[in-house]
Amino acid sequence: MKMLVVFEKFPRIRHIGHLDLMRAMQRALRRSGLPVKFSQGFNPHLLLTFAAPLSVGMAGKREIMEVPLGSDVTEAEFLEKINAALPPELPCLSARIVDDKHPASMASLYAAAYEIAIDSEAEALRNAIPSFLAQESIIALRKTKSGEKMVDIRPMIFELKASGDNTIRCTLALSEAATCKPDLLMDALCAHAGLAARPRTIITRLQMYGKDLIPLEML
């Protein structure tokens, strides 16, 4: 069996990178005494998959991982044991037993919602949103391993609005086929608003979705 787990990464530890976070989870699972599965081979490690890595610097409200288990555990027992083994900044919020054949969250991923807290120029950015979205295409410069690439991010923006005086909320494509990172959106929005430099932001991933924007953990 497999446990589909929703967890939170607090802002205080947002600078922890994905690999470090994964190791922290693996160690928590070891501490928990849960019947975890190990990989074969010379350096056995714990099998564990994440729906999507969270960038360094980002907090996450409802992150998702899958934990294959060697024997049966109830959802309540899993949550109790794993939370006892996790630091307060990294709690698990819910757990759901799924079949081993349940498609990997990673493969079902389609989009994610973010909240972007803005340090300065929030008003200018808020005001720029309607005309920004009215554009037919928004060409942004994406840095890739092989250099820079022009992409049209307009079709990847599903939602973009001010959610408070200093916060913006957006839902952006996040899948193997198409991904728009919130940083890329912010760069384009700042350019559109005529800002010379990008204000400092703290980004939180709020939720991940599958097709038709169904919350990923409910698929």
Partner 1 sequence: MKEFSESKLEILLDTALKPARYTGGEMNAVIKPFDQADVSFAFCFPDSYEVGMSHLGIKILYHIINKQPWALCERVYMPWPDMADALRRENLSLFSIESRTPIRKFDILGFTLQYEMCYTNILEVLDLSDIPLHSCDRTQDDPIVMAGGPCAYNPEPLAPFIDVFQIGDGEEMMLDAIDCVRKCKAEGKSRLDTLRALAGIEGIYVPAFYEAAYHEDGTLKSFTPIDQAASPIVRKRIVKDLDKADYPDSFIVPYTEAIQDRSVLEIMRGCTKGCRFCQAGMLYRPVRERSLETLLKQADQLVNSTGYEEISLSSLSSGDYSQLTELCCELTQRYADKKVSLSLPSMRLDSVVKQSLEELQKVRKAGLTLAPEAGTQRLRDVINKGVTEDDLVRAVTDAFQSGWSTVKLYFMIGLPTETDEDLAGIGHVAKTVMNCYFTVPKGMRARGLRVTASASTFVPKPFTPFQWQPQDTLPQIREKQAKLKDILYAIKGVNFNWHDPELSMLEACFARGDRRMADVLEAAWKNGCRMDGWTEFFNYEGWTKAFADCNVDPAFYANRQRGEDELLPWDFIDAGVTRAFLWREWQRAQRAEVTPDCRKGCQGCGLQRFEGVCRK
Which residues of the chain form contacts with partner 1 (CB under 8 A)? 10, 12-13, 15-17, 20-21, 23-24, 26-31, 33, 38, 44-45, 57, 85-90, 119, 200, 202
CA distance 199 to 4: 36
End-to-end CA distance of the chain: 16
User: In the bound complex, what is the minimum distance in angstroms from residue 7's beta carbon to partner 1?
Assistant: 14
User: In the bound complex, what is the minimum distance in angstroms from residue 47's beta carbon to partner 1?
Assistant: 12
**CB of 78 closer than 8 Å to CB of 180:** no
CB-wise, 13 or 206, nearer to partner 1?
A: 13
CB-wise, 47 or 213, nearer to partner 1?
A: 47
Helix, coil or strand: residue 219: coil
What is the torsion angle, in degrees rounded to the nearest 10, for the CA atoms of residue 93, residue 98, residue 101 and residue 102? -50
User: In the bound complex, what is the minimum distance in angstroms from residue 13's beta carbon to partner 1?
Assistant: 5
User: In the bound complex, what is the minimum distance in angstroms from residue 151's beta carbon to partner 1?
Assistant: 26
* Closest to 62 in 3D by CA, of 73, 72, 54: 54
Q: Which residues pair with 97 in a beta bridge?
A: 3
CB-wise, 119 or 123, nearer to partner 1?
A: 119
CB-wise, 31 or 161, nearer to partner 1?
A: 31
6 membership: H or E segment, kind and range: strand 2-9
User: In the bound complex, what is the minimum distance in angstroms from residue 48's beta carbon to partner 1?
Assistant: 13
Helix, coil or strand: residue 179: strand
Q: Say how many CA atoms lie within 13 Å of 17 toward its Cβ.
A: 2
CB-wise, 31 or 143, nearer to partner 1?
A: 31
